[in-house]
Structure 1
Amino acid sequence: MHITQQMIDLYDQYTHTGSLSRRELIARLGGVAALALIEARATAVPKVAATDARITAAPRTIPLPGGRSMKGYLAQPRTGAAEAPRVLVIHENRGLNEHTMDVARRFAAAGVVAFAADFLTPAGGTPTDEDKARDMIGALDRPATIADGVGTLKWLGSEAPGRGVACAVGFCWGGGMVNDLAVNAGDALRVGVAYYGAPAADLAAVPAIKARLVLHYAGLDTRINAMAPPYQDALTAAEVPFAAYVYEGANHAFNNDTSEARYNEAAANLAWSRTLAALKI
């Protein structure tokens, strides 16, 4: 069936703004169209399998300050990991799912040590029900979540395989987390890459950023794009090094190949090449 831009915009309301329930989405789109958008990712094939000979990957729980911990998934190149850059991978608002673990494996296959963190660890971990995961993400204590992210970056930079100060790459909710980590992590973050993420919550704190930023925006993502100019103005005023790219014709979540309606292969491949280049400098 043909998926229209209006359908995608309604789906964005359902997945990201909380202004549309699953029942309302189905009522407005019709059952067939709604299920086509919601369920397509269930049949997606990983780009890099867990058994890929180029990598090793397994669940890992790491200690954080204050007796807290972070569950996650550590993927690394089978050879050369000791000299590889390190990256924290931050999931969308669905939590640490199979797609995010696949992204971590893609980084490993490209020669990067990647830890995909489960930021729902304090709530018991990511559930299989994605609607529940979204609700749990919305209920997280933001300052505590940011502190957990900073702690994870510090662990990566000192305890994980690889070398050098850690980087962070986040998608959607995770992109916003990258921006908030940038103003809170200080020297613990070398490069932050935000895919269609909200800006840092406190623009007055932008001068505290020590990292170099790469900001990926989807041309059709009016919700996130409307927030970008004040953030980029603040970055420029603070002389924070950053690059911002807009992928015309692409929708929010264009990197997520488990969503056939929004995935944009050309945009995803170009953004991925720019991301890898930034991490490896």
Structure 2
Amino acid sequence: MTALWQGVGMGEMMELGSGSAAVHSYVSRPEGTVRGGVLIIHEAWGLVGHIGSVADRFAEQGYLAVAPDLLGEDGITDDVATELGEQLFSPDPEKRHTAQPKLRELMSPFRSPDFAAKASARISSCFEYLESSAGVNGRVAAVGFCMGGTLALSLAVREPQLRACVSFYGRADFSAADLTAISAPVLAFYGDQDTDLIGALPQLEAAMATAGVDFMARTYPGTGHAFFNDTNRLAYNKEAADDAWQRTLDFLANTLS
């Protein structure tokens, strides 16, 4: 499968970093004063149009936004992502069953031993680009969705200069000792129907508290995984998504000011 969305919004596609840490990224620039930088980390679907539109929304709010393509040629097109997403979230069990082999094929790159290392290096390239960009002045936040939410939390663990972290339905498989490395405040969003993550949330909250992390979790009733993705008509919940977006903007205004 070939990637991807090629950047048809406000911004442009650029290659950031060098060597094995080089990564094609969508960069969306604000008009006027830069309020900070936002590193947007995509879901398992790759750098699709939905993520580009999120980058543009941040740029419209005054943030320099960068969304790396962590899957490259292993990504999928918008059409395939939409079709597979609707099958996975379908109320029809047969459609969900049919989608599982396709999902396993899509997830295969993530099982590569070097995927995490490459993704981390490429995310760091984007972080360094943002941190050194004019007007950002070191004010960089990470915002991730699903797989990207997990990677945003990972960045918070290993990058002491990160100023804020927002994780939409991401996992945090870290010990309390690992979490002590986090210096940024963390805002996390969940749907209460996302049973695996909700089941693990009390333990995560306790670990974050033990580690002394400024951690805030918001759970939306009647919503499941991917509730923010407005291209997935079965998962998207407008009320929850709008509330989470406003809370994210408020959070960034407070942490990046």
Superposition TM-score, scaled by structure 1 size:
0.73
Structure 1 residue 72 and structure 2 residue 25: aligned? yes
When structure 1 is superposed on structure 2, of 210-219 and 127-136 the one drifting more is: 127-136
- Tell me which residue corresponds to 1:98: 49
Q: 1:67 to 1:260 in 2, by over 3 A?
A: closer
Tell me the distance in 1 between the aligned counterparts of 2:174 and 2:126: 20
**Partner deviation per Cα, 1:219-258 (whole Å, 9 max, x = no partner):** 1110111222222211111211121111111111000011
Q: 1:173 to 1:273 in 2, by over 3 A?
A: same
Tell me the distance in 1 between the aligned counterparts of 2:139 and 2:74: 27
Of 106, 109, 112, the match for 1:136: 109
Tell me the distance in 2 between the aligned counterparts of 1:202 and 1:135: 26
Structure 1 residue 184 and structure 2 residue 138: aligned? no
Tell me the distance in 2 between the aligned counterparts of 1:260 and 1:278: 27
Tell me the distance in 1 between the aligned counterparts of 2:181 and 2:199: 23
| Residues paired across the two proteins, number | 222
Structure 1 residue 62 and structure 2 residue 35: aligned? no
How far is 1:146 from its partner? Answer: 2.0
Matching residue's letter, 2:253:
K
- Tell me which residue corresponds to 1:118: 69
Tell me the distance in 1 between the aligned counterparts of 2:206 and 2:123: 25
Alignment gaps of 5+ in structure 2: 1-7, 82-101
- Tell me which residue corresponds to 1:273: 246
- Tell me which residue corresponds to 1:175: 149
- Tell me which residue corresponds to 2:96: none
Identity of aligned pairs, percent? 33
1:197-208 maps to which residues of 2 (within 5 A)?
197-208=170-181
Tell me the distance in 2 between the aligned counterparts of 1:200 and 1:118: 23
- Tell me which residue corresponds to 1:243: 216
Q: 1:160 to 1:221 in 2, by over 3 A?
A: farther
Q: 1:91 to 1:235 in 2, by over 3 A?
A: same
Report which structure shows greater RCO (CA 8 Å, sep ≥6): 2
Of 85, 88, 111, the match for 2:36: 85
- Tell me which residue corresponds to 1:37: none
How far is 1:160 from its partner? Answer: 6.0
Alignment gaps of 5+ in structure 1: 1-48, 51-55
Root-mean-square deviation over aligned CA pairs: 2.0
How far is 1:263 from its partner? Answer: 0.5
Of 184, 192, 195, the match for 1:219: 192
Matching residue's letter, 1:228:
L
Matching residue's letter, 1:120:
L
Give SS of 1:270's match: helix
Asked if the contact 2:176/2:210 (under 8 Å) is kept, the reply is no
